[in-house]
Copies of this chain bind each other. A is one copy, B any other.
Amino acid sequence: MTANKPKAVVLLSGGLDSTTILAIAQSRGYETYALTFRYGQRHTQEVEHARRVAKAFEAAGHVVVDIDLRAFGGSALTGDLEVPKHHSIDEIDDQIPVTYVPARNTIFLSFALAYAETLGAGDVFIGVNAVDYSGYPDCRPEYIAAFQRMANLATKAGVEGRQALTIHTPLIEMSKSEIIRTGLALKVDYGLTSTCYDPAPDGAPCGECDACLLRLKGFEEAGVVDPLRYGKIKGKG
């Protein structure tokens, strides 16, 4: 880390996508500051994955923010609804999934904006993906563009004409296999990451939720073996 690198905030869940984003931000010459949320997920293991990833990548900073999305209810990831399970990728439909969390990316990006402003960082990286998660309204490019425009009107920097905020979404048009190939080219160890919505108590991913199925399909299409060990099914090479 040299002092004259530009600073970037990287939203880091510890999953496959956000870990790839961290590698990409570093490969572009940024000093990276990871930002993770503990938001009443049923699997707080996610925060531990994020810590492990931030440490492995020697991020210059890592802040974990507690937010309580359960106050509003409304989603399987924060409430009491069942996480949907499937036997194959073809069962995943195009509806907005039950695991959708209201306004999640808006809340996450808002905190990223606060962190960036405090650091004097002009760049935020977020691993949204409009291909595999087309059901999430806040993963679309037009949403990100609108957030960036709003953010540039919201801050001291914007008013004073300094350092506008740029939101980087390098994964937004990539397929899962492209994301994996990109990360592997940057030497990402995907054994550090987990993406599962409903892992076993020992941390093993279920292999049956939407996130696991998309990940397994991505590794299969990339022609590599997922280094994770799954609780119920195995990644195919």
| Residues in A lying within 8 Å of B, measured CB to CB | 63-69, 71-74, 96, 100-107, 109-111, 113-115, 117-118, 137-138, 140, 142-143, 146-147, 149-151, 153-156, 158-159
Kindly identify which residue among B73, B96, B113, B155 contacts A118, using a CB–CB cutoff of 8 Å: B73
Kindly identify which residue among B103, B115, B117 contacts A155, using a CB–CB cutoff of 8 Å: B103
Decide: B102 and A114 in contact? CB cutoff 8 A.
yes
Q: How far is the CA of A13 from the CA of B74 in the complex (A)?
A: 24
Kindly identify which residue among B107, B114, B159 contacts A111, using a CB–CB cutoff of 8 Å: B107
A107-B114 contact in complex given A137-B155, A150-B146, A153-B140, C-beta closer than 8 Å:
yes
Kindly identify which residue among B72, B102, B143 contacts A150, using a CB–CB cutoff of 8 Å: B143
Residue of B nearest to A157 (CB): B137
In the complex, what's the smallest C-beta–C-beta distance from A70 to chain B, in angstroms? 10
Decide: B107 and A103 in contact? CB cutoff 8 A.
no
**How many copies of this protein are present in the complex?**
2
Residue of B nearest to A67 (CB): B67
Residue of B nearest to A117 (CB): B102
Residue of B nearest to A153 (CB): B143
Please name all residues of chain B whose beta carbon is closer than 8 Å to the beta carbon of A151 when the two chains form the complex: 106
A111-B103 contact in complex given A137-B154, A150-B143, C-beta closer than 8 Å:
yes
Please name all residues of chain B whose beta carbon is closer than 8 Å to the beta carbon of A111 when the two chains form the complex: 103, 107
A68-B68 contact in complex given A103-B117, A142-B153, C-beta closer than 8 Å:
no
Q: How far is the CA of A209 from the CA of B206 in the complex (A)?
A: 55
Decide: A100 and B65 in contact? CB cutoff 8 A.
no
Jot down 21 A-B pairs with beta carbons below 8 A, ordered by A.
Answer: A65-B67, A66-B67, A67-B67, A72-B114, A72-B115, A100-B156, A102-B114, A102-B155, A103-B114, A104-B114, A105-B154, A107-B107, A107-B110, A107-B114, A137-B154, A138-B154, A140-B153, A146-B146, A149-B149, A149-B150, A150-B150
Please name all residues of chain B whose beta carbon is closer than 8 Å to the beta carbon of A137 when the two chains form the complex: 153-156, 158-159
Q: How far is the CA of A138 from the CA of B102 in the complex (A)?
A: 22
In the complex, what's the smallest C-beta–C-beta distance from A140 to chain B, in angstroms? 7
Residue of B nearest to A143 (CB): B153
In the complex, what's the smallest C-beta–C-beta distance from A152 to chain B, in angstroms? 8
Please name all residues of chain B whose beta carbon is closer than 8 Å to the beta carbon of A64 when the two chains form the complex: 71
